[in-house]
A = this chain, B = another copy of it.
């Protein structure tokens, strides 16, 4: 950033983190946002609500980082511990925050930039002193994420004297190492923009980052790189800057006004649950049947018990019927089905990880047979099966071969 490197430390304050009652998602969230604008996070530190230990941690952070970002310890119940210790460490008096009348009794370091809290009560702040930048953010994850996005990121962007912009291609169907191999040579040659693949739990992404004087210029630099990479990755790209494949499916359904319904066996409601996590899901998701037993497959979906008896509940034929039947019953444009073995126990016929996923639409029914691995966890198999269901829908709605 203007040639200067900004080594950053995230210092999270909270005894609940050290007791293992909560996971430090704040550090993860902030790190992800900073890596997208090219700021190097070098350390995460967690310390309890203890003045002496916090003071010592702040001294260490001052000695090794250019930017110190604290989370937590800002509320009145913890006596505003973080603000007091940071103000002391940088020899700044705490003064009443007169500009922020709605935050009664908010004491903040003199001369700091105040960050409003739109999701809670404790304000955050930022200041620069002794060649360091200090940013203080509340601990509750929702408040932390909102304030960091709305206030801290723009503050850091301004500080850097340049704009860093980053976009990601989200990929399903080929792994991170294949993507890495595909782009290795050009990635090694690139300096600005840069490009890097990252593995996620059940898929991966390719991130392109550029730095320029303005965001518009950075966008201009990124665009051709993204376009070329997307063209090479082709049908494996399911979205740009999305979090998961169901979000991409939701966006496609918003565009084309389509609806779907789900018939689930081994995923036990997870496919429906994931889509309905998205606000506004009700415009596109009609509902589903969780048919965990053979009887329920017959009763809720009307699947012939003789078919289940002859082919088995985990079979191409039953998966086919599940998608076709839930589509018919619901009147949705698309019906999907999942039947398989999530483990840990098998059924004596198939290996754990065997799953049939299916999709029915007005012009056909498609089934994919998956072997997701006998050593995989139940939760991985269920999640991956769901990804395949959404991948089929995404392919169908974009005119690609559904079962590829």
Contacts and interface: CB of A to CB of B under 8 A. Distances in A.
A273 B286 CA distance: 17
A300 B290 CA distance: 11
A76 interface: no
Contact of A292 (B25, B43, B285, B331): B285
Interface in A14-69: 17-25, 27-35, 40-48, 53, 56-57, 60, 64
A250 interface: no
B23 A23 contact: yes
Interface stretch (A214-222, A237-245, A274-282, A392-400): A274-282
Given A19-B41, A24-B27, A291 B287 contact: yes
Interface stretch (A87-95, A180-188, A226-234, A264-272): A264-272
Given A22-B28, A378-B277, A293 B300 contact: no
A334 B279 CA distance: 30
A49 to B, nearest CB: 12
Given A44-B17, A299-B329, A287 B279 contact: no
Contacts of A17: 28, 31, 44
A42 B18 contact: yes
Contacts of A300: 287, 289, 300, 329
Contacts of A282: 292-293
A344 interface: yes
B279 A345 contact: yes
A136 to B, nearest CB: 19
A361 B47 CA distance: 50
Contact of A57 (B43, B277, B289, B296): B43
A141 B302 CA distance: 42
A310 to B, nearest CB: 21
A142 interface: yes
Interface residues of A, number: 75
B42 A44 contact: no
A331 B53 CA distance: 60
A32 B53 contact: no
A204 to B, nearest CB: 10
Nearest to A12: B44
Contacts of A269: 262, 264, 269-273, 276, 288, 290
Identify which of A48, A287, A296 gathers the most chain B CB atoms within 10 Å of its CB. A287
A300 B275 CA distance: 19
A7 to B, nearest CB: 9
A31 B19 contact: yes
A275 B267 CA distance: 11
B23 A24 contact: yes
Contact of A198 (B21, B35, B277): B21
A282 B378 CA distance: 13
Contact of A56 (B64, B299, B377): B64
Given A18-B44, A198-B19, A287 B290 contact: yes
Nearest to A278: B378
The 8 closest A-B pairs by CB, nearest first: A268-B276, A20-B32, A269-B272, A269-B269, A20-B31, A287-B296, A44-B46, A269-B273
17 contacts: A17-B31, A20-B27, A20-B35, A21-B32, A43-B45, A43-B57, A262-B269, A269-B272, A269-B288, A272-B290, A279-B345, A279-B378, A280-B345, A286-B295, A288-B289, A288-B292, A295-B331
